[in-house]
Amino acid sequence: MSRIRTVIAIAVAKLLICLSRLLGNQGTDFPGRIARIIDPHILEKLAANVKEEIYIITGTNGKTTTTNMIARILEEKGYSFVHNQAGANMITGITTAFIKEADILGKKAFAYALLETDEAYVPLLLKEITPRVVLITNFFRDQLDRFGELDKTISLIKDAVRDTEVELVLNADDPLVVHFHNDTGLHCWYYGFEDTDYDVFEGEESREGRFCVFCGAELQYERFHYAQLGKFQCLNCGSHNPRRNFTGHDLHMSPEIRFAVNNLDIYSPYLGFYNAYNILAAVSVAKLVGIQDDIIQRAIASYKPQAGRMEQFQIGDQKAIQILVKNPTGLNQALAALINDPSSKALFFALNDNTADGRDVSWIWDAQVETLTSPNAGVSSITCSGLRSGDAALRFKYAGFDEELIRVEDELEAGITACLSTEAEIYYLLCTYTALFPIRKILSRLARKARGKTMGNIFNEKLTARGE
Amino acid sequence: MAQFRIAHLYPSLMNLYGDRGNLITLQKRLQWYGHECIVEPINLGCQIDYESFDMVFMGGGSDREQELVCLELLCQADNLWKELENDLPALFICGAYQLLGSYYESADGKQLKGLAFFKLYTLSEPERLTGNVVIASRLNQEITTVVGFENHAGRTYLDDESLQPFGTVLAGFGNNGQDGQEGIQYKNVIGTYLHGPLLPKNPQVADFFIKAMANRKGLEIKGQLNDLLEDYAHQQIKRKTLGG
């Protein structure tokens, strides 16, 4: 009876995946949700088909990129694996990912599973599957309205891993992550950076981990690598960065990323310190899996960004770049990348407040939007769109932009058209999660249409040249 | 051109949910009205001369941080209260608002003593009250809607009939999700659960504080700012939350 249930659940969910693809949706959560109603044990059963190991990747920032990089490494090695794509990282999305890869009987075996998991869903997921490793990238302020404050999220995850056999892979530079060893007694692997040329020595106002998690005293930072990540100690109780198992050293970021992990040279076409952390985390996991050095190097060097992570669109002679932003840190990263680009630019920002975006949009006030108003940022206009276009517009106005430069268009397509109709060398389109795929679709369509037009023109020109 | 000074209490501890946007708003609007505004961060261990400030602001923090701040403020409570009675404008959000009462009781029964400026108290429950909120509030003799986002585990109860809430809840939870009251208002003091942040999309509330600051200096704020974007954002949330 139970097997029939499983087969029905898989069949129905696979059908739903096909249907939602036909409708042009991503089809990531709904099929899994329905399958779980038909067979509540579906995920448990399918996860049992993973013959080697399951890896859970969680944390506030960098989960998607880190998971995708590990996936690229396993692919390069030729291993089979299950992997939930593109941020579908709640338990329903993970269920969908398993079903997508399964055969109809639910018996097909895989070597590995890489599960990017939303922090809030880690406890739930651990009830159904047993991973070898949980990797925690970092904890930043993110979409807090879904589950209260950061402290609570952290303690929920701690409770979930305590009394299990999992190994933790942790960021040695994040004071909010490092106490997991003391509190759970689990085996921990640490990765982190040695001193780099890019470190800063003064903190900003909204750093999350300024206080010692053991005694509450203010932490003393010797240097900051990136946001709250850095070299710290507590003068009161003596806690400090743990010893690293995987050390990033000799970091160069101009413009692309080069560094070494325990003397293994790594090159990546990616930009930004946050991506150096993602690479370091991915390499650490690959070493734990036992992948050979040259395969790791090749995979990281050939890794391409995913949807919304600096994806480029060529629309006729206009260049547009789409960037997903989910929290102040992500927005700061996007703004930093934008300012580094010397071109004159038009900016588009779609701010939604659906559940997957986070219903509280106040985080935009924790980002340093003011940096955009410096003359060398070269921002010629801003179009605000989405369900909370008004909040977005106010953020830019109060950052110091002239009201005349700010335009509001709630509808995404109207907003994109308005943005592209302004004069600029490059167009940056920032958006929150639920606007990501709709915008991507619009941009792809515009790009296709423009290509079609150019082809048409060439064809016409040829006809004219031949005198027809 | 006059110079205004705002004390930002414990910014490194009480800085949840973009509340610093309130200070950016006050600073910019004062500039646009032709004045200058300086925001001074006050950290643990500072002695504060409240008399020298035109306004006081404190945002929300997590339980742990709230406790640190409360211990610090208890020593200075008399000075602060004297100035608040003297019409000093002050905005206290969420955790800072809870501190104004006699106590805060966490879900596990632990009691944290407050500053006891007002007869109100807060009981924490496991389930958080979260979402968009719209209230009707009386400011400068006019009734106006105020919009924001609330996210609190604490249920606050005004324990004295003579206490005036900041507003009446039209949508959302407010102080406790039961009695339809939101926040507290006393002279130029507002305590509230409204994040969002509060002031950018409620220019009437921002100007309430600005006028109060100016009044105390014997100044008059002249002119009218262009609030088209502010009103747009305000209406967007109101439409979404109240429907229609």
Position B190 scores a pLDDT of 98
Closest CA to B120 of B179, B60, B194: B179
Distance CA A251, CA A228 (A): 18
Position A228 scores a pLDDT of 80
Position A307 scores a pLDDT of 60
Distance CA A46, CA A181 (A): 30
**For the packed helices A389-399 and B228-242, what is the interaxial angle rounded to 10 degrees?**
150
Q: Residue B199 in contact with residue B148, Cβ under 8 Å?
A: no
Q: Indicate the residue among A279, A301, A323 that finishes a domain.
A: A301
Whether residue B12 has pLDDT greater than 80: no
Q: Could you confirm whether domain B3-242 is CATH 3.40.50.880?
A: yes
Interface test with A, best of B23, B232, B240 (most A CBs within 10 A): B232
A-proximal residues of B, 131-190, CB under 8 Å? 131-132, 149, 151, 153
Classified as helix, coil or strand, A4 is: helix
* B234 interaction partners in chain A (CB closer than 8 Å): 390
Provide the percentage of residues in chain B whose pLDDT is more than 90.
76
What tokens appear for A148 in the block? 């209260």
One-letter identity of residue A276: A
**CATH number of the domain residue A351 falls in:** 3.90.190.20
Beta carbons of A398 and B200 less than 8 Å apart: yes
Beta carbons of B237 and A390 less than 8 Å apart: yes
What secondary structure does DSSP assign to A354-407, as a single string? SGGG-S--GGGGGS-GGGGGSGGG-EEEEEEESTTHHHHHHHHHHHT--GGGEE
Distance CA A24, CA A20 (A): 6
Are residues A102 and A141 located together in one domain of the fold? yes
Whether A464 is covered by a domain: the verdict is no
Beta carbons of B229 and A387 less than 8 Å apart: no
Whether residue A462 has pLDDT greater than 60: no
Whether residue A466 has pLDDT greater than 60: no
* ipTM confidence: 0.96
Are residues A237 and A353 located together in one domain of the fold? no
pLDDT in tens, B72-130: 888 888 999 999 999 999 999 999 999 999 999 988 888 888 999 999 999 999 899 99
Whether residue A143 has pLDDT greater than 50: no
Interface test with B, best of A146, A219, A389, A391 (most B CBs within 10 A): A391
* CA distances (Å), origin B26, targets A192, A266, B22, B30, B56: 41, 48, 6, 6, 12
Are residues A188 and A118 located together in one domain of the fold? yes
Distance CA A438, CA B168 (A): 38
Whether residue A205 has pLDDT greater than 70: no
Q: What residues contact residue A120 under an 8 Å CB cut-off, 6+ apart?
A: A146, A147, A153, A156
Peptide bond into A255 cis (omega under 30): yes
Are residues A285 and A380 located together in one domain of the fold? no
Closest CA to A35 of A111, A110, A121, A97: A97
Q: Indicate the residue among A268, A301, A334 that finishes a domain.
A: A301
Would you put residue A255 in left (φ > 0), alpha (ψ -120 to 50) or beta? alpha
Residue written as token pair 């040329």: A197
Whether residue A264 has pLDDT greater than 70: yes
Task: Give the phi and the psi of residue A324 in degrees, each rounded to 5.
Answer: -85, 130
Whether A27 is covered by a domain: the verdict is no
What tokens appear for B227 in the block? 């609030």
Task: Give the phi and the psi of residue A270 in degrees, each rounded to 5.
Answer: -70, 165
Are residues A57 and A185 located together in one domain of the fold? yes
Whether A361 is covered by a domain: the verdict is yes
Q: Residue A175 in contact with residue A228, Cβ under 8 Å?
A: yes
Which residue in A210, A390, A399 is closest to B201 by CB distance? A390
Q: Indicate the residue among A301, A324, A359 that finishes a domain.
A: A301
For strand A50-58 and strand A133-136, is the pairing parallel, antiparallel, or unpaired? parallel
Give how far B137 is from chain A: nearest CA, Å. 21
Beta carbons of B132 and A359 less than 8 Å apart: yes
Beta carbons of A205 and B68 less than 8 Å apart: no
Beta carbons of B28 and A393 less than 8 Å apart: no
Beta carbons of A359 and B24 less than 8 Å apart: no
Position A78 scores a pLDDT of 93
Beta carbons of A362 and B65 less than 8 Å apart: no
* B230 interaction partners in chain A (CB closer than 8 Å): 394
What is the rounded average pLDDT of the residues B126-147? 94
Q: What residues contact residue A339 under an 8 Å CB cut-off, 6+ apart?
A: A371, A372, A374, A376, A377
Whether A259 is covered by a domain: the verdict is yes
Beta carbons of A365 and B149 less than 8 Å apart: no
Are residues A335 and A260 located together in one domain of the fold? no
Peptide bond into B89 cis (omega under 30): no
3-state secondary structure A297-365: HHHHHCCCCCCCEEEEEEECCEEEEEEECCCHHHHHHHHHHHHHCCCCEEEEEECCCCHHHCCCCHHHH
Q: For residue A12, how far is the Cα from the chain centroid?
A: 30
* CA distances (Å), origin A182, targets A139, A213, A233: 17, 11, 16
Position A70 scores a pLDDT of 96
Classified as helix, coil or strand, A127 is: helix
Position A141 scores a pLDDT of 61
Distance CA A381, CA A403 (A): 10
Confidence of residue A155 (pLDDT cuts 50, 70, 90): confident
- How much is the CA Rg of chain B, to the nearest whole Å? 17
pLDDT in tens, A243-255: 999 999 999 876 6
* B195 interaction partners in chain A (CB closer than 8 Å): 360, 362
Closest CA to A436 of A313, A312, A315, A350: A350
Whether A29 is covered by a domain: the verdict is no
| Tally of domains in chain A | 2
Distance CA B208, CA A208 (A): 32
Whether residue A224 has pLDDT greater than 50: yes
Interface test with B, best of A206, A362, A387, A410 (most B CBs within 10 A): A362
What tokens appear for A72 in the block? 């690229």
Domain span at A369: 309-454
Distance CA A448, CA A414 (A): 18
Position A262 scores a pLDDT of 95
Report yes or no: B28 at the A interface, CB cutoff 8 Å. yes
* From A69-83, A145-159, A178-192, the region with the lowest mean pLDDT: A145-159
Q: How many CB pairs under 8 A join A and B?
A: 103
Are residues A315 and A243 located together in one domain of the fold? no
What is the rounded average pLDDT of the residues A379-400? 97
CA dihedral for A161, A163, A165, A167, sign (positive or negative): positive
Report yes or no: B16 at the A interface, CB cutoff 8 Å. yes
Whether A175 is covered by a domain: the verdict is yes
Distance CA A202, CA A227 (A): 10
Which residue in B16, B24, B131 is closest to A398 by CB distance? B24
* From A55-69, A134-148, A418-432, the region with the lowest mean pLDDT: A134-148
Classified as helix, coil or strand, B9 is: strand
**CATH number of the domain residue A114 falls in:** 3.40.1190.10
What tokens appear for B44 in the block? 């643990």
For residue A146, give the chain B residue with the closest CA: B130
Write out the residues of chain A at the interface with chain B, using a CB-CB cutoff of 8 A.
144-145, 148-151, 205-206, 210-211, 216, 359-366, 387-391, 393-395, 397-400, 403, 406, 408, 410
* B17 interaction partners in chain A (CB closer than 8 Å): 144, 360, 362-363
Beta carbons of A397 and B229 less than 8 Å apart: yes
Distance CA A167, CA A159 (A): 14
Give how far B60 is from chain A: nearest CA, Å. 11
Give how far A186 is from chain B: nearest CA, Å. 26
Which ranges of A56-178 would DSSP assign to H, the alpha helix?
A: 63-77, 91-101, 122-128, 150-161
Whether A135 is covered by a domain: the verdict is yes
Helix (H) / strand (E) containing A279? helix A273-289
For residue A408, give the chain B residue with the closest CA: B229
Distance CA B26, CA B109 (A): 38
Give how far B161 is from chain A: nearest CA, Å. 31
Sheet containing A81-83: order of strands? A81-83, A110-116, A50-58, A133-136, A167-171, A188-193, A246-252, A257-261, A264-268
Beta carbons of A205 and B15 less than 8 Å apart: yes
Tell me, what DSSP letter sits at residue A240?
A: B
